[in-house]
Chain A
Amino acid sequence: MNTRLRDTALFAGLLLVALGVYAMMGPAYTLRMVVEATCYAILALGLTIQWGYAGLFNAGIMGFVALGGAMTMLMSFPVNQDFWNSSAPAGLGRVLLIALAGAALVYAASRLHRLGVSRGLRTAVTVIVLAIAYLVFMNALTPVAAEIESTAGFVGGLGLPVGIGWIAGGAVAGLVGYFIGRICLGLRSDYLAIATLGIAEIIKALLKNADWLTRGTLTVSPLPWPVPAPAEIGFVGSRAAYLAVTAVLIVAIYILLQRAYHAPWGRMMRAIRDNETAAESMGKDVNRRRLEIFVLGCILMGIGGAALITFVRIFDPSGFVPLNHTFLVWVMVILGGAGNNLGAIFGALLIYIVWTMSEPATLFAFHLMEQYGRDWFGWQPPADLDSRALQMRVFIIGLTITLVLRYAPRGLMPEPVKHVD
């Protein structure tokens, strides 16, 4: 079938589904769903270049989403005067100096072999210096953190425009991605998967427990919006304005990625993905290229995460769960068609609509089952049936991943493969 015809048909079907939701749920609900779906589409674009262009397995999207959200919160949340008027900023400055001094000492220790010290001794000295510097740093930070928590609550934001927060979110996510990539990309992609899974859990643990920085489980809200808030112009108007922002963002990212895909750079990436050895023998620096694309994907995930958390208006570190923020994105990309940017966007929109609708649908199905079970078999359902029923969706997501991998490994919109005769 003609690819253009197929894509048009799929998107038309998607529009019909969205209109159906609109007819049932009304404009405000539908707009919320579509805006969130577009934020997920940015995440999916980030993943499709990592997985689709370069074959890199990133199991820690949640971590980059959380980083993006945290950065936009810190940049754009109003300034906390209590914090700046107290002695805590000076204390934090001192802690920062200690950290820098410690880092300098550790670096110096790691260079000791230049002075003729044997390598074994150098490593031992470095590890000891690192441990002492770390303990001093922790002991300096603890009282300052406690002071901030007791006097000011948390550090507050910087009151900058939201756009700067999103850029900062992308930048920090890219930085973390760079370090992970440097360590793991020379090895097989399984290691990358394990490491990204770990870093995501660590970022979540840090954000959740560093109360002085993020208020932890107390959550921060309401985050400022880049467009007028619902209180000013109503839900429909402000959500539509937000949708315009994310839509422009997606179109811009899409055009850039499309150009990159068809450029020599994109061709080289696919060459590396499809046959690493051949690409390497042609003189391509495989690891550097992979690092490039991995960082680029992480930046997109940071921006997408920032947009998503800003829209939700509440920064809640416990709200980041691997299912919603990592594996849902996975399903979007592999079902949509890895390596096809349009497919990633389509997959994100479709899966997010299905995902949102699946909550009432699952509850409805389980309540029906509960009723029949009670009537026919005298079954006593457990009290927490609702929360258990929602776990059914975890099962469905897992099943979808395995089934798509087996029966439709190229997705609904496969990557177009050009054959040259």
Chain B
Amino acid sequence: MNELVFFINKVVIAGSVIGSIYALGAIGVTLIFGILRFAHFAHGDMMTVGAGLSLVVAVLLAEAGVSTPLPIGFVAMPIAMVLTALLAIGLDRTFYKPLRDAGVRPVVLVMASVGIMLMMQGLVRLLAGSSTRSFFFSERKDIFRIDLPFLEARRSLVITEPQVLLIAFTVVAVVALHFFLTRTRHGKAMRAMSDNADLARITGINTEQVVWMTWIIGGGLAAAGGTLLSLDVTFKPDLSFNIILPIFAAAIVGGIGRPYGAIAGGFLVGFTETLAIFNWSILLRPFDALFPAWLEVPANLAFVPTEYKITIPFFILVAVLVWRPTGLFKGRVL
């Protein structure tokens, strides 16, 4: 059953990893879209900035002689999350709020977010260059190999420490977000404002505070997503468009303004990507003898070549917009 183990390694684990990243990004995008009513294009670069801040903090910690059982990048992450949340609020005060107060059309806010995206992109590349960097500059990345003798497999399941941390963090973050949104005053206020901003305002909800909360959650989770992605692979300053498109797809699939939908959408997009680039003929090969002689299993039976991976979120997006613009979880069509 080597093939099954291969499938689990290539699809189940890889899909959960990338799905978690998309989910962490999409929660922020969907909250901002639902509450502030515009597509926040700068989110991908906010993730990059968050990862960069984590890297800086991690280097500083390592120089200060801190050593931890967990990867140092993971230990630095909470600080980077706070910094990114502050950055997000700062950007809102300087750029988005004046535009909102001037009563511009929502699409102008989208343009402003494109401008901010370019500013962050430029700064990150100016400061970090365009080469990739590893978070594991002083320690080794732990890799767990789990043998499955009962399946008669010679291959073993492979999962790395950052991947375990990533999945664990996503689960904790999702549960925490759930309790925040359903049990606390601020969370309920956020949901109310997402449903109907005017009604929320006249019932006495401090909408300005809700905006702050949105940026704190969005920015914090973006930093976490970026850091965890960089821990899993490497820190890439030019992530931007490759990650923002799947995140938007995830947010729209789940339904705008629906955090649970965003999580489901993130995993949906992540798994679709890994399933589409998976070479299915590997799974069919053990059954080669069962096929009639004229039907030969092709060597490569992947739906999409890896270099066209970017097309998958796009087609998911198009399919959702055509068939169910509200998304799976009955979000809003703005």
Residues in chain A within 8 A of chain B (CB atoms): 55, 57, 59, 131, 134-135, 139, 142, 183-184, 187-191, 193-195, 197-199, 201-202, 205-206, 208-209, 322-323, 327, 330, 334, 382, 384, 387-389, 391-402, 405-406, 409
Contacts and interface: CB of A to CB of B under 8 A. Distances in A.
Contacts of A398: 114-122
A135 B303 contact: yes
A270 to B, nearest CB: 14
Contacts of B131: 384
A395 B122 contact: yes
Interface stretch (B19-27, B50-58, B78-86, B305-313): B305-313
Interface string B231-248: 000000000010011001
Interface string B300-328: 11010101101101100110011001000
A202 B310 contact: yes
Contact of B321 (A184, A322, A327, A397): A184
Nearest to B242: A201
A399 B241 CA distance: 19
6 contacts: A193-B107, A202-B308, A399-B119, A402-B95, A405-B99, A405-B112
A190 B114 contact: no
Interface in B108-140: 108, 110-112, 114-123, 125-126, 129-131
Nearest to B119: A398
A193 B181 CA distance: 29
Contacts of B121: 391, 394-395, 398
A323 B125 CA distance: 14
Contact of A401 (B107, B112, B123, B126): B112
Given A395-B123, A402-B112, A405-B115, 13 more contacts: A134-B303, A183-B322, A190-B38, A190-B39, A193-B41, A205-B307, A330-B111, A391-B122, A394-B122, A401-B118, A405-B108, A406-B95, A406-B98
B334 interface: yes
A139 B108 contact: no
Interface string B278-308: 0000000000000000000010110101011
Q: How large is the interface on B (under 10, 10 to 19, 20 to 34, 35 or more residues)?
A: 35 or more
B269 interface: no
B333 interface: yes
A198 B129 contact: no
B318 A401 contact: no
A409 B108 contact: yes
B111 A401 contact: yes
B245 A201 contact: yes
B310 A391 contact: no
B114 A327 contact: yes
Contacts of A134: 303
Contacts of B313: 198
B126 A395 contact: yes
A209 B314 CA distance: 18
Nearest to B301: A135
B142 to A, nearest CB: 31
A395 B112 contact: no
B11 interface: no
A59 B114 contact: yes
Nearest to B247: A194
A384 B126 CA distance: 10
B105 interface: yes
B99 A406 contact: yes
Contact of B334 (A190, A322, A395, A401): A190
Given A190-B39, A195-B321, A391-B126, A397 B307 contact: no
B249 to A, nearest CB: 8
Contact of B317 (A194, A206, A382): A194
A283 B44 CA distance: 41
Contact of A188 (B104, B126, B311, B333): B333
B90 interface: no
B317 A187 contact: no
Q: Nearest 6 pairs between A and B by C-beta? A: A398-B118, A395-B122, A401-B115, A394-B122, A398-B119, A402-B115
B84 to A, nearest CB: 18
B240 to A, nearest CB: 9
Contacts of A205: 307-308, 310-311
Contact of B114 (A183, A184, A401): A401
B134 to A, nearest CB: 17
Contacts of B105: 55
Given A202-B310, A395-B122, A330 B321 contact: no
B310 A197 contact: no
Contacts of B333: 187-188
A272 to B, nearest CB: 13
B252 interface: yes
B123 A57 contact: no
B287 to A, nearest CB: 17
B125 A394 contact: yes
A194 B301 contact: no
Contacts of B317: 194-195, 198
A334 B115 CA distance: 12
